[in-house]
Structure 1
Amino acid sequence: MTAETRKPFTFTGWHMLAIMLAFFGTIITVNFTMAYFATSTWSGLVVKNTYVASQEFNGKTAAIKEMLATGIAGDLSVDTKGMRYRLTLPNNVPVVADSVLAHFKRPVGEHQDFELVLTPAGDGLYLAETAVLPGSWIVEIKATKGGKMIMHEAKRVTVSGE
C-alpha cells in the first residue's frame, strides 16, 4: 500500500498579490464611487450655522406650502446679461409686488454671491440687467407686497457662457 502524503499549504507571493489587489481594489472602487456621487448629486447649500438652519427647516417648509397653496407661481429666466422673473396666479393672472429681490448663490462657497433688486416691467414681469457669470447658481427670490412675503422660492439654474 502506498500512502499518499498531502503537501502542506504554502503561502506564496501570488497569494499575497491576490490579497493586496482585493484589498486596495475595494478601497479604490469605494473612493471612486463616493467621488462620483459627490460631484454628480445636489451639493446642498452653504449656511453659517447648520444647527440653526435645521431647527428652522420645518417652519420655513410649512410657510412655503401655505404660500404655494394660493397658486402663486414664478417663472425664472437667467442668462449672462441678466434675469427675467414673472409672477402669476392661476389662469395667468399677473401678480404685482412692491419689491422683488434675487439672491444669487454658488452651490458651494460664497465669494461670488450677490443680490439683485428687480425692477417691475408691468404685467407681473420683473427684470434685472446685470452681468451674471456662467456656471451653476442657486437663485433665491423673495417678493413682498404690503410688508408681507408673497413669494419665496429658490431655483437652481445653469448659465451658459455664450
Structure 2
Amino acid sequence: MTSAHEFSFQTLQGAPYPLGALAGHPVLVVNTASKCGFTPQYAGLQKLWELYAPSGLIVVGVPCNDFGGQEPGTAEEIGQFCKVNYGVGFPMMAKERATGESAHPFFRWAAIEKGFFARPRWNFYKYLINKNGALADYFISTTKPESERVRRAIENVL
C-alpha cells in the first residue's frame, strides 16, 4: 500500500468510512481511548477540527483498547462519552487494534512509511495525511493536538 487512501475504517455506527473518499483533504488520524491520561486531548482535537475544518482538515478518531485496556466501551458508549465530555463533532470510527499482527492495516502502513518509532506505542498517536494520501508526519501521545508543531504541520498540508 502506498497511500492512506487505500484504507477504510468503519464508523461507530458500522458504516464504511473509506479514506479514499477524503482525497483532496488533509486528514489527522488519531488512535483514541476514553480512560487514558491523554484522554483530555479530545478537547484539543475538537479545537483543531473547528479551526481547520473550514480549510479542509478532517480529524478521524479511531478508538483502541490495546494500551492498558483504556477503551473498554461499546461503540455507543464511546460515542456518548466523546460527545458528552468533549463535544466531539469529528468522525469517530469503530474500535480497532493499533498494534501487533491484528493491527488495522492503516497503523501497520504508518509504521512502514515513517519507521519503527511511528508505530503506536500508546493512545493518542496522531498521523497527518496530506491531500494526496501520503503520511506527512506523525506525533506521539505527549504531543498535544493544539501544539505549535501540530498546527504548523497541518497548515503546511492545507
TM-score (norm 2): 0.25
| Structure that is richer in helix per residue | 2
TM-score (norm 1): 0.25
| Structure that is richer in strand per residue | 1
Larger RCO: 1 or 2 (CA < 8 Å, sep 6+): 2
- Is the radius of gyration larger for structure 1 or structure 2? 1
